[in-house]
A and B are shown apart, each in its own frame.
Chain A
């Protein structure tokens, strides 16, 4: 018996020993795996179940003030092939070609080449919508293949991309701009607000099970892009675009610009340029149609600038609207340079002088104001500096300091020459008058908000009192006269009163290197209704060729068309029973003797054009708004001109104080304001001729 016990005990101990060995071995292995190999195994496990995906957040959207979409990005799918994962290239190419409608041979060679090069990304179809995505997935599904992502086809994968779309097409194209394939803004708001709109890249860490199903996801935090709401009203913008396009085509103009501003808030309701472009069709964009002339181009304003002249005088109580100004025989000589009106209007009130756009009266008024005061008013009204609107490449215009003025610079500036302005600056100046002398900084962004429409920031424009209420009121009265019985009769509205000023300025021709009397910038800037204005509208036409060329004939009707349509849209009450006459029912009465200033009073040549001959010219009283022309030897130019003004001009004095040349007023397509160059002296020019 004791032997049995011993045997049993021995057996028991053997079993225990085996168990201990087994247990010890397992423990040792566990220790090795879980302590020694811990980091490596953890990494392997993470790698097998974790999937890191990088994706870009959708670029922010751009809306108009009525929440209409102007620019939006949507997710699209791109089907690509990982050539290294395709074993049977011909078979795969055959299946894919049938589904996608591609050429099999071409696709096969492409895939084979990619496989040889070990390329893992071969795009097959881009920018596909959800419906096409589902269709392709169903068509390419291989039931035998176990693949975590779609499509269930060896070597094919989907990639999320985004596509930028501009549903309104050409509407407010210059304001909205466009972005490139990388999602970077290239023009307009897309460019200036790129940081706000840009969708950052986010990292998604997904944990998958053995079947590829995601059971946990971590997203790296990034600030989401914001949406931009503009002040643009799509209805007003459309009507402005249409009216401007129609007028540019009808007049054969090179280009046109129209701006509609709510002067009380500084909001730009419409900003239109023609020619324009479609941001959806990047191939159609050219430097010519891409330029936002409203803010990037500089031009000599001509007679619309008389607003500043009379404003400066009224502000200093040097004149009143009823004060008499004697234009004499319609000629005035400043620094041995004669400025003339097309016809003498004698002694008239300041209001009438502005209505008839008398250069002599404006110059006399500016003389009373003085150089420094005039310059001060020019600067106060915002000229010579950018308005600060949220659009890229805005020009600040060209305003020389009085220290650099000639003897006749004040006279030239009083009638809108020797100065370069942008359309927006001029519109803002008139908006200041419409707003009772308070200048509100124009802006085009109403608010910036998150994707869930929570507002982050709201525009708060700067408001500055520039002129007194009395001055503004007097100016409005005078501008009303321009429309009632002055050069701006075609700006009369039906059911509403309006006020404004016409302008016609000759352009500097870089080819001829002097002012070209065949090229004009015709403009009309005004507001309506006259007494309690609701909107300020500026229309500028560049080189109108067909029909009339004056601001009153070309630009004023556009103002009228825009105002007639948008005032009811803005629910502005009618303040007049007057129904404006049709164009062909009653022609605009002639405005005798208004000379739209000297041709050469441009930035390029600061005084009247270099008229080599001293031949006297006759004044044609039939001109509504006349302008200076070349001497009779340039007959070809005169013949092309439907209106043939002639003027008396004296030769320039030989000595000049400013020998440098100035840049062209109409900026080239790149629309960058150029460095002002001083003009050549007449002695130098005489030397060059000899």
Chain B
């Protein structure tokens, strides 16, 4: 009987097995290196494309910032234009206010009118509010009154507002308006 438990003697074919296992090791090592290399390339490519992506986003944001800046300036300008005296004048005209246009004045007037001719009944004792700024008052829309009398009366009303009732002396045309 043959004993099968005895270790096999090394035959000439055994070196092949050893060589084969060495090859596999080299192969696996090569694969691992290749994987590392590939991974490195992928990593670099990812970084590259990410930087490109950031570049695009950056450029978009920069453009957005520029556009917002432009829009802000445009709005600031539009706001200033709407608050300018010229635009306010235009808007007032659209709303029906009439501007008191300055006209060449003749010689100075010297006529004196009592205060009672100016103030309506019941308001004589009430002090007029002090006005710190001259405000254009919308004249009464009486068709028969000419522009010059309207302008004159507006000037009178303006001056009246500044003074105390007792000292008001205004042309009688104002009474007609009121």
Contacts and interface: CB of A to CB of B under 8 A. Distances in A.
B94 interface: no
Contacts of B169: 582, 584-585
Interface string A246-263: 110111100000000000
A171 interface: yes
Contacts of B134: 561, 564-565
Interface string A334-348: 000000000000000
Interface stretch (A1-9, A214-222, A602-610): A214-222
Contacts of B110: 584, 587
Interface string B150-165: 0000000001001110
A129 B107 CA distance: 52
A474 B158 CA distance: 36
Interface string A204-216: 0011010001111
Interface string B93-135: 0000000001111111111100000000000000000001110
A587 B81 CA distance: 42
A69 B112 contact: no
A217 B102 contact: no
Interface string A48-69: 0000000000100000000011
Contacts, number: 113
Interface residues of A, number: 47
A349 interface: no
B70 interface: yes
A547 B107 contact: yes
A338 to B, nearest CB: 32
Nearest to B170: A582
B104 A217 contact: no
A257 to B, nearest CB: 17
A498 B71 CA distance: 48
A585 B133 contact: no
Nearest to B70: A75
Interface in A562-598: 564-565, 568-569, 579, 581-585, 587
Interface residues of B, number: 41
A215 B52 contact: yes
B106 A546 contact: yes
Interface string A227-264: 00000000000100000011101111000000000000
**Residue of A129, A170, A547, A585 contacting most chain B CB atoms (<10 Å):** A585
A669 interface: no
A94 B15 CA distance: 87
B104 A165 contact: no
A180 interface: no
A169 interface: yes
A217 B106 CA distance: 69
Nearest to B164: A579
Interface stretch (B1-9, B20-28, B39-47, B54-62): B54-62
A494 interface: yes
Interface of B: 51-52, 55-56, 58-59, 62, 67, 70-71, 73-74, 76-77, 80-81, 83-86, 102-112, 132-134, 159, 162-164, 167, 169, 171
Interface of A: 58, 68-69, 72, 74-75, 129-130, 165, 167-171, 206-207, 209, 213-217, 238, 245-247, 249-252, 494, 546-548, 561, 564-565, 568-569, 579, 581-585, 587, 642
26 contacts: A69-B76, A72-B73, A72-B76, A74-B77, A75-B70, A129-B74, A168-B86, A169-B84, A206-B59, A214-B55, A216-B55, A216-B59, A217-B58, A217-B59, A246-B102, A249-B102, A250-B102, A250-B105, A251-B104, A546-B104, A546-B105, A547-B107, A547-B108, A584-B110, A584-B112, A585-B169
Considering the complex of A and B, which 3 residue pairs feature the smallest CB-CB distances, nearest first? A215-B55, A167-B80, A214-B59
